[in-house]
Amino acid sequence: MLRGLLAPDERARADRFRFEADAHRLIIGRGVLRLLMGQLLHMLPQRVAFTYSDSGKPSIVGVHFNVAHSGELILIATHQYRIGVDVERVDRMIDVAAMGSACFTARERAMIIANAATQETIFRLWTRKEAWLKAVGSGLSFPLRHVDVADTTAPVIAPDAVIDGAPPSRIVDLPAEPGYVAACAVSGPEECRTRLWLVENTWRPNLPWYNSFDDV
């Protein structure tokens, strides 16, 4: 069903994956994204036209949205201004000492230590930071240590950081399935509406396929 909503280049990309699970993830993620964008733009999902950055990130003129996936979950968000989201499965070990000051600020490392370096704390900070970076539009090309996300209501940006446009004004920790953490970074006035969907990669026709979060 969802494969039929994809553009020819999207289907071709899915067919190039070596592993079926990767192809399935693309079909589910892009198919659901087309459904949601079609609702938003009042058009058939098949007629939604994406443009792509050099890194392959899809965009639509006049629409702000962002997509993240990890494990069996896909997170999709739309907003009136810049937005970034991230979801991570908390099932792998991270060497905080090795990452050190390259990724986390002194305040973030103190937060990790205060919480006994738990996986959830580490990934919570990582999802906040990744969501913020995606909202900025720089991705991981922006030095991770140049933004401090220990306080979600007031992200701290390094004085020498170079950002194109206004940075996200706040970060929200999102509810997620057990074993996952997620975050959203948004710009603009707080009364602006943000819509979020958490999609399961195991989606099948005639089964519930998303949980819609409250506006943030």
Beta strands in 13-169 (DSSP E): 51-52, 58-59, 64-70, 73-79, 83-89, 147-148, 156-157
Is the full-model pTM beyond 0.95? no
User: For 119, phi and psi rounded to 5 degrees?
Assistant: -60, -40
Note the pLDDT tens digit of each residue in 115-153.
Answer: 776 788 888 999 999 999 888 876 656 778 888 998 888
Phi, psi values for residue 123, rounded to 5°: -70, -30
Q: What is the pLDDT of residues 18-72, one digit of tens each?
A: 888 888 888 888 998 999 899 889 999 999 999 887 767 788 988 889 999 888 8
Confidence of residue 92 (pLDDT cuts 50, 70, 90): confident
| Residue at token pair 């991230």 | 86
pLDDT of residue 22: 86
E-strand stretches of 36-157: 51-52, 58-59, 64-70, 73-79, 83-89, 147-148, 156-157
Give the whole-angstrom CA distance, residue 202 versus residue 204.
Answer: 6
Q: Tokens 């990724």 label which residue?
A: 103
Contact by Cβ (8 Å): 127, 88? yes
- One-letter identity of residue 27: I
